[in-house]
Amino acid sequence: MTVCEYSPGLEGIPAAQSSISYVDGKNGILEYRGIRIEELAVKSTFLETAYLLIWGKLPTQDELSEFETDILYHRRIKYSIRDMMKCFPETGHPMDALQTSAAALGLFYARRALDDPTYIRQAVVRLLAKIPTMVAAFKLMRKGNDPVQPNDDLGYSANFLYMLTERPPDPLAARIFDVCLTLHAEHTINASTFSAMVTASTLTDPYAVVASAVGTLAGPLHGGANEEVLVMLEEIGSKENVLPYVEKCIANKHKIMGFGHRVYKVKDPRATILQSLAQELFAATGYDDYYDIAVELENVIAEKLGSKGIYPNVDFYSGLVYRKLGIPNDLFTPVFAIARVAGWLAHWKEQLAVNRIFRPTQVYQGEHNLPYIPIEARVVAIDSNGNK
């Protein structure tokens, strides 16, 4: 075994061999199973893309129809899960609600048969089908309303928007939302996927795998950035304020949300597609003034931080699209999770075939052979400011 040098954040350390997706960060290329994201965004659907990611090939018409029907059939959640969700605090973040609900699925579907393809398929179908229902249910239940049951006449994305807004969505809105899900479905070994893989490597159940990934996605340095971007755009308030805002962030070493990426050193290809989706949506349903602020921010940051490879990432334009679709800010990251569950499950399934428990090493920096001091003999350390 070769011993590697310590790399903070595991930057540059390969942690798996995978054929699910590919990122070329210098040239802004993203492929799922070898197919460019730009092509999938235009020609595929989220469920077809999920199938591609998880089973490694584009489905035939029969395979796709069967998969879509299975998912449609499993979209409802058990009344006891809804009852459990009713007890969640209404002020709780929807990502925390989702993490808890996803983990709870493991209580109801407890069988763990990781070598049984039927079990694998059922778990994939259940998670893809039920997560949108749980996200939409919490959105209504936290206001004291009953959740809306899935509508069997609507496809995956249209049905989610219907459960969320309580009215059938415009076909353009449903299509744009479906493209957003496709764009967010997978992205190699990022933090949440790695979390999923570490959890999966213990051979626990797929509901625990997804729940741990949801917890990781929630943080502002990862999926949570999409929510922070709109807060930032609101704080900036006008195009004129963009330059002073960026200068202040740079001077104070504050990260600007929605910019920068561990792998991409150019504009994230998903941000480019999301920007054009935002324009398409605004042309059909009305302009959003925050878009001008966002474009100005992108220009100023290219000038000030472009030399460091800081450009918009996937989270920068997604919030503007979601806002126009009537999705509340704190549901942006759960929507990301609805999509990314496809990628997490693809990695789970891929890893099961070659599993070895993750157990990295560390560089110990503490002391050795210290005496055990009895409690009555311990002194309280006081610093130069008199603080204990």
For 296-327, the DSSP string reads: HHHHHHHHHHGGGT--B-HHHHHHHHHHHTT-
The whole-angstrom distance between residue 189's C-alpha and the CA centroid of its chain comes to: 12
Report in angstroms the alpha-carbon separations of 320 from 164, 229, 281.
17, 9, 10
Element (H, E) at 24: strand 21-24
Q: Which region, judged by CB under 6 A, interacts with ligand ACO, from 24-32, 49-57, 75-83, 309-317?
A: 309-317
Does 315 qualify as catalytic in the annotation? yes
The pair of structure tokens assigned to 21 is 């997706």
Report in angstroms the alpha-carbon separations of 211 from 54, 98, 338.
18, 8, 12
304 counts as binding ligand ACO under rule CB under 6 A: no
Beta bridge partners of 259: 312
Q: Which region, judged by CB under 6 A, interacts with ligand ACO, from 17-25, 115-123, 164-172, 260-268?
A: 260-268
Q: Which of 178, 187, 205, 261 is catalytic?
A: 261
Report in angstroms the alpha-carbon separations of 343 from 33, 156, 199, 202.
11, 17, 15, 19
Q: Which is nearer to ligand ACO, 23 or 209 (CB)?
A: 23
Query: What's the closest the beta carbon of residue 329 comes to ligand ACO, in angstroms?
Result: 15
Report in angstroms the alpha-carbon separations of 156 from 122, 150, 160, 176, 178.
17, 10, 6, 12, 8
Site string for ligand ACO, 161-190 (x = CB under 6 A): -----------------------------x
Site string for ligand ACO, 319-358 (x = CB under 6 A): ----------------------------------------
314 counts as binding ligand ACO under rule CB under 6 A: yes
Q: Which of 315, 330, 347, 368 is catalytic?
A: 315
Contact indicator for 51, 67 with CB cutoff of 8 Å: yes
Q: Which is nearer to ligand ACO, 296 or 315 (CB)?
A: 315
89 counts as binding ligand ACO under rule CB under 6 A: no
Q: Nearest-5° angle of CA 13, CA 208, CA 146?
A: 130
Query: What's the closest the beta carbon of residue 257 comes to ligand ACO, in angstroms?
Result: 5
Among 43, 167, 248, 308, binds ligand ACO (CB under 6 A): 308
Catalytic residues: 261, 315
Which residues are at the interface with ligand ACO (CB under 6 A)? 9, 190, 221-223, 225, 255-262, 305, 308, 310, 313-315
